[in-house]
Amino acid sequence: MARRKSDQLTDGEQSILEILWERGECSVKEIAGALSADKPAAYTTVQTMCKILADKGYADYRKEGRAFVYRACISRTEARQSALKSLLNRFFGSSPELLAQHLIRETEIDLKDLESLQKKIDETD
């Protein structure tokens, strides 16, 4: 049975989007080169991942000669909102309160950060 396609970003897809957000439009070759700075990235693999990003609606492309040039269709903020919404729905019953409680309990958040959060909460009232 085939695996269900996810609308969420994989780590590799997010790495490509980070490059597009930083540089704007890039060819597959340029993206592969940028990714290879950290670890080797095969051109064909990057090409496939770029196509998947376009299919998911996260990127768009145009053809320039023989090259495909990609650009991000969503901002970092929109990607964060989508990921957070998915996280809330999947693990916290769509409850921001449960997520906040989890973060306070399970992370090493310091007093300054908690005070800053409380200040922002107070300002919204």
Q: How confident is the model at residue 125 (pLDDT cuts 50, 70, 90)?
A: low
Where do you find CATH 1.10.10.10 in the chain? 11-72
Question: Does residue 4 or residue 54 have the better pLDDT?
Answer: 54
Pick the CATH number of 11-72 from 1.10.1040.10, 1.10.10.10, 1.10.1370.30, 1.10.150.80: 1.10.10.10
Give the pLDDT confidence of 45-62 residue by residue, as tens digits: 999 999 999 999 999 999
Give the pLDDT confidence of 16-45 residue by residue, as tens digits: 999 999 999 999 999 999 999 988 999 999
Q: How confident is the model at residue 1 (pLDDT cuts 50, 70, 90)?
A: low
What confidence score (pLDDT) does residue 48 get? 96
What confidence score (pLDDT) does residue 113 get? 87
Contact 72, 20 (CB under 8 A): yes
Measuring CA to CA, which residue among 77, 41, 42, 79 is closest to residue 57?
Answer: 79
Question: Does residue 111 or residue 32 have the better pLDDT?
Answer: 32
Residue 119 CA to residue 112 CA, distance in Å, equals 11
